[in-house]
Amino acid sequence: MKKGLIKLPENRVRRNYLGGAGIDRLHKKAVCVDNDRPEEWIGSMVEAVNLGMEPVEQEGLALVDTEEGVRCLRDVVDEEQSFYLGKSIHSDNTWQLSFLLKILDSAMRLHVQAHPSTRFANEIMGKPYGKLECYYILGIREGIDPYIRLGFQHSPGRERWKQIVKMQDREAMDGCFEKIPVRPGEVWYIPGGMPHAIGEGITMLEIMEPSDLVVRCEFERENVVVPEEARFMGRGLDFCLDVFDYTEYSAEEVREKCRIEPQVLEKTKAWERRRLAGENLTPCFFVESLQIWEETVIPHNGKFTLGVVCSGSCTMELQEEYSCEKDGQQKTAKKAEENKEKEAAREAEKPEPELAALQLQAGDSFVIAAAAETYRIVPGSGETVELVLVYPGKDMEK
């Protein structure tokens, strides 16, 4: 199946904390509830690992409707690699999507945890990826002063931290951290090695490197217990102590180090594109925000792209007969034939004709194939629609 633009169904996933009502609100559902499915995985090509829970077949994998029935997005992409992935294929013709995109909503503060840095994962564990994460804060529950824990504000040092984790000394663990205030619209990144926890009442996009390596050092929160096999990556506490960055950072130093200032890349009379995260942080992915307030045609980036509607509504359709100049003006982009073989190859890579434009509203997600050239967006009447787009970095081209 070759489709340049695919709307994705919801893909809620179980986790070992409670939340999800904020995701329901984003989707404008009539009933919004917290449960054990506090995350929606967007276009995921990896299965969820929920140690200690009853297994669910293919949990986490994104599904799409095709003429052959419901199929995993991963399999659809694998059958038409050059169409969907473009140049984002390894030199040995293998591929692995270099990021995972989620909508996350917390009804409780999450357990304190840390992820290995890429260097630690490579050199010590023999793994291709550590786990750097980025947060884009979408919303806050009423009555909440939103915060995250990030880094040690009062570092215990390695040996004292070992005793705190081993004895599950809650008071001492809490004393290592101060609340780092966050607010909607902010972008944060979580370096490998820094202990962290998302506070209660936050709805966000979370974008991460493609690793499930995690050290969970707080074993129980609000009667939600982390199973023993899910705590130390199967390695034991002594090994995992070397994962942590024991540097002491003040709340202000954390803010200066880890809060990202979005960069305006393009602005026209109809739309604005901002870079939220890029190659200065990780070779695995780029994150961009696209705000559109007038009907427009936008050039595609030539990459496999996952998108989420963060606010507003719109229609979206491919416009292969158009391109978009840097100043935002539209013009016909049909080029004269230079070579019949090249033209035939180009036509073979074009998407199948779309049956209809996608109708999108807040919370909806979609795929744009690398082979797509341009797409038209028409915002809802009087609305500004915000789309967040995530696409691979150079890591997928190694």
147: domain range?
5-260
pLDDT category at 221 given cuts 50, 70, 90 is very high
Do both 249 and 273 map to the same domain? no
Q: Are 277 and 260 in contact (CB under 8 A)?
A: yes
pLDDT category at 280 given cuts 50, 70, 90 is very high
Whether pLDDT at 210 is above 90: no
pLDDT of residue 353: 52
pLDDT of residue 49: 83
Query: Of 111, 137, 282, 105, whose CA–CA distance to 195 is shortest?
Result: 111
Two tokens, residue 58? 């293919």
| Spatial separation of the C-alpha atoms in residues 100 and 39, rounded to whole Å | 12
Over residues 279-295, the mean pLDDT reads 96
| 190: number of Cβ within 10 Å | 23
For residue range 70-79, what is the model confidence (pLDDT) as tens digits? 999 999 999 9
| Spatial separation of the C-alpha atoms in residues 353 and 141, rounded to whole Å | 42
Residue 248 DSSP one-character state: B
pLDDT category at 138 given cuts 50, 70, 90 is very high
Do both 254 and 271 map to the same domain? no
Question: Is residue 243 classed exposed, middle or buried when 0-12, 13-18 and 19+ CB atoms within 10 A define those classes?
Answer: buried
pLDDT of residue 288: 98
Do both 92 and 58 map to the same domain? yes
pLDDT of residue 1: 87
pLDDT category at 115 given cuts 50, 70, 90 is very high
Do both 279 and 226 map to the same domain? no
DSSP-assigned states of every residue in 347-366: HHTSPPPPSS-EEEETT-EE
pLDDT of residue 323: 34
Do both 153 and 181 map to the same domain? yes
Whether pLDDT at 91 is above 90: no
Do both 143 and 17 map to the same domain? yes
pLDDT category at 7 given cuts 50, 70, 90 is very high
Q: Are 57 and 50 in contact (CB under 8 A)?
A: no
Q: Amino acid identity, residue 303?
A: K
Do both 41 and 172 map to the same domain? yes
Over residues 38-67, the mean pLDDT reads 91
Do both 71 and 121 map to the same domain? yes
- What is the chain's mean pLDDT, rounded? 91
Query: Which runs of consecutive H residues, i.e. helices, occur in 168-250?
Result: 170-174, 237-240
- Tell which of 260, 293, 325 closes a domain: 260
- Tell which of 260, 286, 320 closes a domain: 260
Do both 199 and 304 map to the same domain? no
Query: Of 207, 214, 213, whose CA–CA distance to 187 is shortest?
Result: 207
Over residues 171-187, the mean pLDDT reads 98
The structure tokens 């292969």 sit at: 320
Backbone CA torsion sign across 161, 163, 167, 170? negative
For residue range 324-382, what is the model confidence (pLDDT) as tens digits? 333 333 333 344 344 455 555 555 555 555 446 999 999 999 999 999 999 999 999 99
How many structural domains are present in the chain?
2
Do both 239 and 383 map to the same domain? no
More confident residue, 331 or 87: 87
Do both 217 and 293 map to the same domain? no
pLDDT of residue 267: 97
- Tell which of 233, 260, 287 closes a domain: 260
pLDDT of residue 92: 87
Q: What is the CATH number of the domain that holds 287?
A: 2.60.120.10
Backbone CA torsion sign across 273, 304, 25, 379? positive
Do both 307 and 337 map to the same domain? yes
Over residues 170-184, the mean pLDDT reads 98
| Spatial separation of the C-alpha atoms in residues 213 and 233, rounded to whole Å | 6
For residue range 194-207, what is the model confidence (pLDDT) as tens digits? 999 999 999 999 99
Q: Are 132 and 48 in contact (CB under 8 A)?
A: no
Over residues 110-128, the mean pLDDT reads 95
